[in-house]
Amino acid sequence: MNQLNLHEGKAEHLRDFPYITELVKLKIQNIQLNSFTVKTNEGIRIGLITEGKFDWVIAGQGYTLFPGDTFLIYPWQEIGSPKGVLDIGALCWISLSPELFDPSGLLQFGAWSSIPESEQRVIGKILAMNKNPVLSRFGAGPQILQRIEHEILQQEIGYRTRVNHLLDELLISLVRHLSKAENFRRDFPQIFSKLEQSLRENLAHPWTVEEMAGLVGLGTTAFTEKVKAFTGFSPLHYLINLRIAEAIKLLRQTKMSLTDIAFDTGFYSSQHFSSTFKKLTGYTPRAYRKTQ
């Protein structure tokens, strides 16, 4: 295994990729003290264990990683060894610095990515919802990482474009793997409960069926069929019901203006809010508040 240790600002190979802060491949044959103390991660780190066994602390929890395991660490999480060392073995990783990524799932990769903004929002949500930093059976990861390394080192014609496409492919493959793994662990009622929680936390977001389906790792057709079977409503009608339920709570429990309630619950105008509210409850929002 060839060693590789490229860091932003130090490695000429990364000059064209300021959003790649690290590209590292290590084979550790001698333990060095204080080489891997627990500290806050920088950027999104995606890596792979190829040899050995590593006991790490990630986000306050202890994990044992084996060959074939992929690790996924976020900017707000801590990572390191409780012993402060990297054990004997081999591993590789890449670290990306997105323009924006926070624990709520707000994510903007930057101009280099060709992933549409709406899909970046879904990817951000799925990544933020993931609570397992150690993934098994992420088969696409090793090959994509190897191809990224090759393109960066060889710098043949079109290498910038190809690296950016490979990064997009890595992130999309990773998110699909997370969604499928999550679905494998849970049945649909549990998945649906998680989806509803995400929707309630951000009702003002202009959710699309594609985004909602992406959150639970399904295609739009399968997602629509499951939601209809589970709730009796289409996904968008179910979302409207959630918005009206939240609006009713705000009308009863707060003195917020009708316009503020409309925008907070995801309606694009007070008129839209009023007409939808009356259609579903028989009252205008103002009339409903007076009955309370």
Answer yes or no: are the C-beta atoms of 73 and 108 closer than 8 Å. no
Residue 49 DSSP SS3: strand
**Domain segments of the chain: what residues?**
4-184, 187-291
Q: Which amino acid is at 147?
A: R
CA dihedral 96, 124, 143, 164 (to 10 degrees): -60
Model pTM greater than 0.75? no
Into which CATH architecture does domain 4-184 fall?
Sandwich (2.60)
Backbone dihedral angles phi then psi of residue 178, each to the nearest 5 degrees: -60, -45
At residue 195, the pLDDT reads 84
pLDDT digits (tens, 9 = 90+) for 76-85: 999 999 888 8
Given a cut of 80, whether residue 149 has pLDDT beyond it is: yes
- 66 or 165, greater pLDDT: 165
Q: 187-291, which class in CATH?
A: mainly alpha
Q: Give 72's pLDDT tier (boundaries 50, 70, 90).
A: very high
What are the E-state strand segments in the chain? Answer: 4-7, 20-28, 39-40, 44-52, 54-58, 61-65, 70-73, 78-80, 89-96, 100-101, 107-108, 134-135
As a whole number, mean pLDDT of residues 36-48 equals 92
CA dihedral 207, 209, 211, 212 (to 10 degrees): 90
Given a cut of 80, whether residue 23 has pLDDT beyond it is: yes
**Which phi-psi region, left, alpha or beta, contains residue 49 (left: φ > 0; alpha: ψ -120 to 50)?**
beta
pLDDT digits (tens, 9 = 90+) for 151-172: 999 999 999 999 999 999 999 9
